[in-house]
Structure 1
Amino acid sequence: MPENVIIVGGGLSGLAAACALAERGVRVTLLESRPRLGGRAGSFTDRTTGTQIDNCQHVTMGCCTNFQKFCDTVGVSELFRRETQLNFVGPDGSIDTLASSWLPAPLHLFGGFRRLRYLSRADRRCLSRGLRSLARTRPANDDRQTFADWLREHRQTPTAIERFWKVVLVSALSETLDRIDVASARKVFVDAFLANRRGWEVQIPTVPLDELYGSRLTDWLTNRHATIRLKCGVEQLLVEDDRVKAVELRGDERLDADEFILAVPHQRVAALLPESLRTIPEVAGLDCLESAPIASVHLWFDRPLTDLPHAAFLERLSQWMFNRTELQSDDVSTPPHYYYQIVISASRSIAGMTQEQVIETVVAELAEVWPAVGEAQLVHSRLVTEQKAVFSVLPGADAWRPAQQSFIANLQFAGDWTRTGWPATMEGAVRSGYLAAENVLARLGRPEKLLAPDLPTAPLSKILLGL
């Protein structure tokens, strides 16, 4: 009889573990309290327009090799569109484009940065020095320096900070520069921009996240004899003799298994464990991980605003615009609408604003760039805020991130909050699921390496930057 593994949590980390184990013949039972899979990477139907919209726009990059492996494995890679250039809206409303050249990393984006008109020649020289210094920086595990302090220490100009460092990092890490540790900032720039010419390429889903992680993954897993139970809340793990014996569900149902993976948000871990285990450092330390919010403004107009698929905004409340008209409902009984999503990461700044004020500000910012906004009718709008979207990569936060192997032999932790070497990203979530699955396979006497290798570092990056 195949070994039985229960996975609590149907977000990306739980799904990655489930797919890896089911593919190898392990009998998997996946329990999810919500009515859908995907966790924070989910969608819902807007009742007014009939559009299935994502809680927040999720994107991946070329450096996210394990997320790519996951998508290849379950057959959803074709549902992503690869962007070969990034569009930036400068403070004056002009649009610049960043694209790579034929040169190898780290020179592939050099020409593109030179053409960004909102950066002066002095700013570009400053950035070049800063990127070289960051690449050669090796932050200690106990480093308490914020990246804002690092930038000041390395004499980055206010304009370079506002129009480059902030634009990249706030969107990548969903935190402000004064709440980002140096190691996480370095990770973003080295992996995405400096080590390999493919690392920076952005990939955007062309379908709602529920289609990516819902019906397709359900079919894939059930075809491999996995059991998926939605709307299935877990009350607690039952621990006896230093082993997890079972999970107790709401309604007093009990499910037994050989191995267990707890793939829930870090805020929920302690509540699922017996009270006697909640003071163990790996569990108690999770309370020290802080969270950051992300907001998204969803706008439907009666006419198109722009043909651009995306744009990053500088020095505005709006940070990214994604043209999501392709997700519109096909219902011919309703007039055509043009749907755009505006993302505001680390969105604490809107806490004192009403929904109407946020939407009004965002629409006004769009009108400064695209005159069509002034002529268009805003048919519908809504603001969605995820207060605990990601854990904050504060200096010292890594000390509170536990390994996947817990203090109980047959219990693994999975989630982007575990020790993955990555910040809070879809890549980090998938890596944690694979690492948890590796531990399970090793315990079952079937050791196998599941993690995909990182993109190779270009030889010139090694020579010029010491990577």
Structure 2
Amino acid sequence: MGASQSEVVIIGGGLAGLACAVTLADREVPVSLFESRPRLGGRASSFADKQSEQLIDNCQHVSMGCCFEFNRFCETVGIAGFFQRASELYFIGPEPAGPESKGEQFKVNRFAASPLLPAPLHLLPAFGGLSYLSWSEKTELAKGLKQLALEKTDLENEPTIADWLADHGQSANVINRFWNVVLVSALSESLDRISLSHARKVFVDGFLRARDSWQVLIPTVPLEHLYGTVIQDFLKQRGAKISLQTGVEKIRIDGQQVTGIQLRDGSKIDSQRVVLAVPHQRVFDLLPAEFPGCESLTGIQQLESAPITSVHLWFDREITSLPHAVFVDTLSQWMFNRSRLMQNASTETGFYYQIVISASHELTGSARQGRTQSEIIGEVVRELALIWPEANTAELLHSRMVTEHQAVFSVKPGVEQLRPSQRTEVAGLYLAGDWTSTGWPATMEGAVRSGIQAAEFLLADLGQPETILLPPAQTSFLSKILFRL
């Protein structure tokens, strides 16, 4: 019995594989996508919580205004309307205790762009208004931001952002209450494991280059609906074949050419174009022991991972009406008020909040120091009660903690030299994944860019060359003058 055939096979239904499939299917290239799980979306996934009877996301995924490829992808497949753009953020930091204070007080700082000032000065009043930094600390911060924007990074020999901040006069309080708050949330790593170049990218692309780049886009439906239903229908309407719960055993390579794949059930599919869009930890499991260019891919085995933990809480009443919040000086980092954010949200089983803790190394493995999940959840609830006293009298109806242990790859110094191109030395074999060379950290933007770049290489090999990636973002005139961006 002969093998079936497909012009292009894509292995992996995460965002990278989906972006590649959408790009090709939109250009009438026949695609067959294989996903071992029963759903699409990869790490951007949901699962059913039996007690709350809700679909909940494994972790809160957000985009930003500077994520141009991801945002265009959402427009293309018809899911852009399921994101709420936050043009105002809420930073909650400790206030100095007054003479009559019985304990530490917290204040909500509203963070928004000035309508009167051009970029990069548009956020100056917002930074200046952060109540938990003194005026001398804000001056120190401004100098640090300017120095970072002007910094020319050497990828061959760059420091961590922790070392750079120490060398550039940033005090412990400013590091803890500003740099740590922004960078750990953005890059999901601790400052001593973040490279200078990736930290610089966050501030240049997110805050300094253009007016709306800093704004956060938050899904208003479960990720299962975004990536499982709408995109699947989009692809099928364009002739793409999607096989869920269909694991791939091996990619077949003959000499210098890919020839197809073998599924776990033993069946074979012939194809001269295969896109491998799986987490970097699985790449070598799917390839032969020897293949052309094997040595050039060994760098991915040195990529390290960082965890992200989500604490899901259901109270019997609303503890805050804020849609989201960023915390300073707490274990908790972000709060998302899912009952406020989600379309058609029901409060019959409680008011639902998701707390995100990025780079949660101390909450996993031996670093937990014997703390149970219930003790960690208890600490998070106590922090919420310090900020919103309503949580003291509210009944916690249900809670659960979820940790994605390999949520992102660590953006340590030297990581860019480990990330491979989407084109390999095997004819017809391409890579896609946020871990490939995209110029971005482990984000939804990086994943989508990798899928598009893989599609560009593949289309060129099919004799259909096309530049699909958007040109670099426009930099404001004043940013060019002030920071030579």
The two structures have a TM-score, normalised by structure 2, of 0.94
Equivalent residue, structure 2, for 1:382 = 400
CA contact (8 A) 2:6 2:269 kept: no
Secondary structure of the corresponding residue to residue 106 of structure 2: coil
Query: Counterparts of 1:266-415 in structure 2 under 5 Å?
Result: 266-277=280-291, 280-326=294-340, 335-351=348-364, 352=368, 353-415=371-433
| Partner Cα distance (2:426, 2:342) in 1 | 47
Correspondence for 1:81 among 70, 80, 84: 84
CA contact (8 A) 1:49 1:329 kept: no
Equivalent residue, structure 1, for 2:63 = 60
Equivalent residue, structure 2, for 1:106 = 120
CA contact (8 A) 2:331 2:380 kept: yes
CA contact (8 A) 1:79 1:207 kept: yes
Residues 1:13 and 1:144: Cα distance change in structure 2 (over 3 Å): same
| 1:19 correspondence with 2:32 | no
Query: Counterparts of 1:98-177 in structure 2 under 5 Å?
Result: 98-102=111-115, 103-177=117-191
State the Cα distance separating 1:143 from its structure 2 match. Answer: 2.1
CA contact (8 A) 1:80 1:204 kept: yes
CA contact (8 A) 2:311 2:402 kept: yes
Residues 1:438 and 1:166: Cα distance change in structure 2 (over 3 Å): same
Equivalent residue, structure 2, for 1:6 = 9
| Partner Cα distance (1:128, 1:361) in 2 | 33
Alignment deviations for residues 299-343 of structure 1 (CA, whole Å, 9 cap, x no partner): 0011111110100111111000000015779798x9341000000
State the Cα distance separating 1:119 from its structure 2 match. Answer: 1.0
- Amino acid in structure 1 at the alignment position of 2:145: L
Equivalent residue, structure 1, for 2:99 = none
- Amino acid in structure 1 at the alignment position of 2:144: G
> Identity over aligned residues, as a percent?
53
Correspondence for 1:423 among 441, 444, 461: 441
Equivalent residue, structure 1, for 2:252 = 238
Deviating runs (4+, > 4 A) in structure 1?
Answer: 326-332
- Amino acid in structure 1 at the alignment position of 2:448: V
In angstroms, what is the RMSD of aligned CA positions? 1.6
State the Cα distance separating 1:411 from its structure 2 match. Answer: 0.6
Secondary structure of the corresponding residue to residue 252 of structure 2: strand
Secondary structure of the corresponding residue to residue 90 of structure 1: strand
Alignment deviations for residues 346-370 of structure 1 (CA, whole Å, 9 cap, x no partner): 0011121210111000000000011
Q: How many residues align?
A: 465
| Partner Cα distance (2:448, 2:120) in 1 | 27
Secondary structure of the corresponding residue to residue 26 of structure 1: coil
Higher alpha-carbon deviation: 449-458 or 246-255: 449-458
Residues 1:278 and 1:357: Cα distance change in structure 2 (over 3 Å): farther
CA contact (8 A) 1:51 1:328 kept: no
Equivalent residue, structure 2, for 1:41 = 44
CA contact (8 A) 1:69 1:452 kept: no
| Partner Cα distance (1:355, 1:327) in 2 | 26
Secondary structure of the corresponding residue to residue 290 of structure 2: helix
Unmatched 5+ residue regions in structure 2? 95-104
Equivalent residue, structure 2, for 1:207 = 221
| Partner Cα distance (2:273, 2:27) in 1 | 15
CA contact (8 A) 1:199 1:455 kept: no
State the Cα distance separating 1:285 from its structure 2 match. Answer: 1.3
Residues 1:186 and 1:328: Cα distance change in structure 2 (over 3 Å): closer
- Amino acid in structure 2 at the alignment position of 1:338: F
CA contact (8 A) 1:206 1:326 kept: no
CA contact (8 A) 1:270 1:278 kept: no
State the Cα distance separating 1:279 from its structure 2 match. Answer: 8.3
- Amino acid in structure 2 at the alignment position of 1:433: G
| Partner Cα distance (1:51, 1:309) in 2 | 19
CA contact (8 A) 1:11 1:41 kept: yes
| Partner Cα distance (2:431, 2:333) in 1 | 33
Correspondence for 2:109 among 86, 89, 96: 96
Higher alpha-carbon deviation: 322-331 or 32-41: 322-331
CA contact (8 A) 1:208 1:327 kept: no
CA contact (8 A) 1:367 1:374 kept: yes
Higher alpha-carbon deviation: 23-32 or 450-459: 450-459
State the Cα distance separating 1:251 from its structure 2 match. Answer: 1.0
| Partner Cα distance (1:319, 1:176) in 2 | 13
